[in-house]
């Protein structure tokens, strides 16, 4: 047997997931982008799921490139925030398929990738309503981002 099933694996539930940007070139040469999220450790798995579903609807597979893949806390909320920013650029397909509602046209790819690279959860706190557990997780992440102050040497140990 050339593969074996791993046992005892449990799905992680640490609040982290991935936000991704796919660049898709359609058969007419037009370029659109898909912005989405996955709880998988690999955005490429999601890319192939979307391409498979696209193929079932359109009977061809467009060229697709993974342009950005970022690990984030509460990925569903980050995705919702990003979709809100891109709402005016929404691209609609004539046929539905898995993930078809998360495509955008005329996206400035470089600026978007830069925004993702510098993404701060403070932006999420300003624009999104969330559950208390997600809020706590984000606040912890923000605290971890802050540079730690060096402890004073004349501080008493008690």
Statement: residue 50 has pLDDT above 50: yes
Instruction: Return the closest-CA partner of residue 99 out of 38, 29, 25.
Output: 38
Q: Looking at the domain assignment, is residue 4 inside a domain?
A: no
Domain extent for 79: 16-145
Length, in residues, of the chain: 158
CA 52/CA 34 separation, integer angstroms: 15
119 inside domain: yes
With contact defined as beta carbons under 8 Å apart, do 90 and 82 qualify?
Answer: no
pTM comes to 0.77
Token pair listed for 17: 């997931």
- The percent helix, strand, coil of the chain (3-state, each to 5) is 40, 20, 40
Task: Look at residue 68 and tell me whether its pLDDT is greater than 50.
Answer: yes
- Tens of pLDDT along 28-45? 999 999 999 999 889 999
Q: Provide the H-helix boundaries in 59-98.
A: 75-85
H helices of 41-120, where?
43-58, 75-85, 109-117
- Residue 33 domain-assigned? yes
Q: Residue 41: inside a domain, yes or no?
A: yes
- Side-by-side strand order, sheet with 103-105: 63-73, 16-25, 31-38, 103-105, 90-91
- Residues 84-111 have pLDDT tens digits of 999 999 999 999 999 999 999 999 999 9
| Residue 152 located in a structural domain | no
Look at the chain and report how many structural domains it folds into.
Answer: 1
Which is more confidently placed, 149 or 145? Answer: 145
51 lies in some domain: yes
Q: Are 128 and 83 spatial neighbours (Cβ–Cβ below 8 Å)?
A: no
């Amino acid at each position: 047997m050339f593969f074996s099933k791993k046992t005892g694996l449990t799905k992680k539930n640490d609040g982290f997931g991935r936000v991704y940007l796919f660049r898709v070139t359609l058969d007419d040469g037009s370029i659109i982008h898909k912005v989405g999220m996955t709880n998988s450790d690999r955005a490429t798995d999601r890319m192939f799921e979307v391409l498979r579903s696209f193929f079932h609807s359109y009977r061809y597979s467009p060229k697709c490139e993974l342009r950005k893949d970022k690990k984030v806390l509460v990925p569903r909320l980050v995705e919702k925030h990003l979709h809100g920013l891109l709402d005016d650029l929404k691209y609609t397909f004539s046929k539905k398929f898995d993930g078809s509602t998360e495509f955008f046209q005329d996206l400035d790819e470089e600026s978007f990738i830069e925004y993702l690279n510098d993404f701060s959860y403070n932006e999420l706190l300003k624009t999104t309503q969330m559950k208390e557990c997600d809020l706590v997780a984000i606040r912890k992440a923000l605290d971890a981002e802050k540079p730690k102050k060096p402890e004073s040497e004349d501080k008493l140990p008690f």
